[in-house]
């Protein structure tokens, strides 16, 4: 797996720390500018919106926020950008869509417009990579998550079971705790989707040495590694998962865990606030956290992030771009992330916050340690970042769910997903071209 140090070099060299303030010159030159932001409601974005009045008073910039449901956000942004309507100056964008939007010319390179005191070096390389395309940074992180192993520490300690570090140990623990109908060993996502079951399945795929495309962008995920990963992922859920797990989304996984029905889950680390809330979780205070277990090729945590980017369609003038960047600089600054910690938000991405005494005092030490280690070893292209990912990932997700449900064997299901992807790439002209990402 390639290291990711080059991402910082391509971003920009900057000075040490940014607070929540914008320079006086910026305030004077941008006062009276209007910025419209498209986003979806998350704890992180809700917190930013709650403090907008401070930013507007400080800069004189008038900010309008338009909030959409998660599934609507992309649809509305694509409509606005592709038609040239230009309603939005800033768009909240999933990291997996950065290549598609950037290739279409819809996004403005971000680094040249950031506040001079914005500390890009304070953000981990792997997070920068999620928001870059062709070595250009297009967005700053609002929210980021990494997958972890979360387990019933009370059960593991009571029964003397070691925390799994490799796939074989994971299965042994899952088998030990599978006692239907009241307790099952393991739950993960089964529901189809490039951001649903593929999100956690890819940990197995990468750990067995899987690669999605060859060097000429020909899909090869139906090879021996892909079949093995899919068979193993499906078998674990079939044998040790709760009934109906083939249709599980992230919220089903979370509910199965907080209700005490499963001993282990692998999913996003941002589950923390809900699974540790005694008002919402029957197992709060009895949870352990670890890096996802390793397969033959190592441990491969999944990643996902949401960022703010400047729309080239909405922010047409230089002043509009600077105003949009001023908002992004403020909203994603180190001080805002530190302040959000006090509000109970745990998706911070800045190293200065993750390593702060305040962070250490606020959260479970195992959660912190596994989060930091996971971000160090993850790769932005865990799920490859390129314009065709969404369609390819959805085709894979259909295959994976079919195998979990016992509807088709892995080889047959993946063969069809490869054929679907080949047909798509031939229509778009991507088939046979150099692979557009590195892993």
Report the candidate in 400, 422, 420 with the shortest Cα–Cα distance to residue 229: 400
**Per-10-residue mean pLDDT, the chain, length 439:** 34 33 57 97 96 97 96 95 98 96 98 91 92 96 97 98 99 99 99 97 99 98 99 99 98 98 98 96 99 99 98 98 98 96 90 92 94 94 96 98 99 99 96 94
Q: Indicate if 317 and 196 belong to the same structural domain.
A: no
In a domain, 43, yes or no: yes
Q: Which residues constitute the domain of residue 319? A: 6-145+303-377
In a domain, 25, yes or no: yes
Residues 6+ apart with CB under 8 A from 328: 90, 110, 114, 140, 308, 309, 310
In a domain, 67, yes or no: yes
Residue 2 tokens read as 């390639």
DSSP 305: E
Q: Indicate if 153 and 139 belong to the same structural domain.
A: no
Q: Of 334, 352, 377, which residue is a domain's last?
A: 377
Q: Indicate if 394 and 339 belong to the same structural domain.
A: no
Q: Of 377, 392, 417, which residue is a domain's last?
A: 377
CA distances (Å), 286 to each of 142, 252, 278, 281, in order? 29, 20, 11, 10
Q: Indicate if 295 and 400 belong to the same structural domain.
A: yes
Q: Indicate if 362 and 388 belong to the same structural domain.
A: no
Query: b/e map of 110-137 (b: 16 or more CB within 10 Å)?
Result: bbebbbebbbbbbbbbbbbbbbbbeebb
Q: Indicate if 126 and 166 belong to the same structural domain.
A: no
In a domain, 63, yes or no: yes
Report the candidate in 144, 38, 114, 142 with the shortest Cα–Cα distance to residue 81: 38
Q: Indicate if 412 and 335 belong to the same structural domain.
A: no
209: left (phi over 0), alpha (psi -120 to 50) or beta: left
Q: Of 340, 355, 377, which residue is a domain's last?
A: 377
Q: Indicate if 421 and 282 belong to the same structural domain.
A: yes
Place of tokens 């060859």: 214
Residue 261 tokens read as 């029905």
SS3 174: helix
When divided into structural domains, the chain yields a total of: 2
DSSP lists the bridge partners of residue 179 as 183
Q: Indicate if 323 and 243 belong to the same structural domain.
A: no
Q: Indicate if 421 and 290 belong to the same structural domain.
A: yes
In a domain, 434, yes or no: no
Query: Given this model, what pLDDT does residue 27 score?
Result: 54
Q: Indicate if 295 and 226 belong to the same structural domain.
A: yes
Q: How far is CA 331 from its chain centroid?
A: 19
Q: Name the E strands within 271-374.
A: 287-290, 303-310
Please state whether the predicted TM-score (pTM) of the whole model is above 0.85: yes
Q: Indicate if 369 and 276 belong to the same structural domain.
A: no
Query: Given this model, what pLDDT does residue 13 score?
Result: 29
Say how far apart CA 44 and CA 41 lie, in whole Å.
8
Say how far apart CA 197 and CA 388 lie, in whole Å.
18
Q: What is the CATH number of the domain that holds 278?
A: 3.40.190.10
Query: Given this model, what pLDDT does residue 168 score?
Result: 99
In a domain, 1, yes or no: no
Query: Given this model, what pLDDT does residue 26 score?
Result: 52
């Amino acid at each position: 797996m390639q290291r990711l140090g080059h991402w910082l070099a391509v971003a920009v060299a900057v000075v040490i720390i940014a607070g929540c303030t914008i320079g006086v010159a910026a305030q004077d030159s941008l006062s009276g500018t209007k910025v419209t932001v498209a986003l979806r409601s998350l704890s992180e974005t809700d917190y930013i919106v709650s403090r907008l009045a401070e930013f507007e008073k400080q800069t004189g910039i008038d900010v309008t926020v338009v909030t959409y449901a998660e599934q609507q956000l992309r649809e509305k942004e694509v409509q606005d950008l592709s038609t040239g309507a230009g309603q939005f100056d800033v768009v909240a964008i999933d990291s997996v869509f950065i290549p598609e939007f950037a290739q279409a010319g819809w996004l403005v390179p971000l680094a040249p417009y950031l506040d001079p005191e914005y500390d890009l070096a304070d953000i981990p390389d792997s997070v920068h990579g999620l928001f870059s395309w062709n070595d250009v940074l297009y967005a700053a992180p609002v929210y980021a998550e990494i997958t972890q192993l979360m387990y019933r520490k009370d059960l593991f300690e009571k029964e003397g079971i070691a925390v799994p570090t490799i796939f074989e140990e994971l299965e042994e623990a899952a088998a030990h705790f599978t006692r239907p109908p009241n307790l099952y060993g393991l739950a993960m996502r089964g529901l189809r989707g490039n951001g649903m079951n593929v999100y956690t399945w890819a940990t197995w795929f990468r750990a067995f040495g899987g690669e999605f495309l060859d060097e000429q962008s020909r899909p090869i995920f139906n090879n021996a590694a892909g079949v093995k990963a899919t068979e193993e992922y499906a078998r674990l859920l079939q044998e040790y998962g709760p009934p109906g797990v083939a249709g599980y989304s992230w919220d089903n996984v979370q509910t199965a865990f907080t209700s005490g029905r499963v001993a282990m889950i692998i999913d996003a680390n941002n589950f923390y606030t809900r699974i540790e809330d005694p008002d919402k979780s029957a197992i709060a205070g009895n949870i352990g956290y670890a890096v996802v277990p390793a397969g033959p090729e190592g441990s491969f945590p999944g990643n996902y992030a949401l960022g703010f980017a400047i729309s080239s369609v909405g922010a047409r003038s230089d002043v509009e771009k600077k105003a949009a960047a001023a908002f992004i600089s403020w909203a994603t600054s180190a001080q805002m992330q530190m302040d959000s910690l006090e509000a109970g938000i745990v998706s911070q991405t800045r190293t200065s916050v993750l390593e702060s005494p305040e962070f250490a005092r606020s959260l479970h030490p195992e959660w912190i340690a596994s989060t930091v280690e996971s971000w160090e070893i993850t790769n932005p292209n865990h799920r490859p970042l390129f314009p065709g990912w969404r369609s390819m990932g959805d085709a894979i997700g259909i295959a994976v769910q079919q195998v979990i449900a016992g509807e088709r064997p892995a080889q047959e299901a993946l063969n069809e997903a490869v054929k679907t992807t080949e047909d798509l790439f031939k229509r778009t002209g991507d088939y046979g071209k150099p692979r557009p990402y590195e892993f």
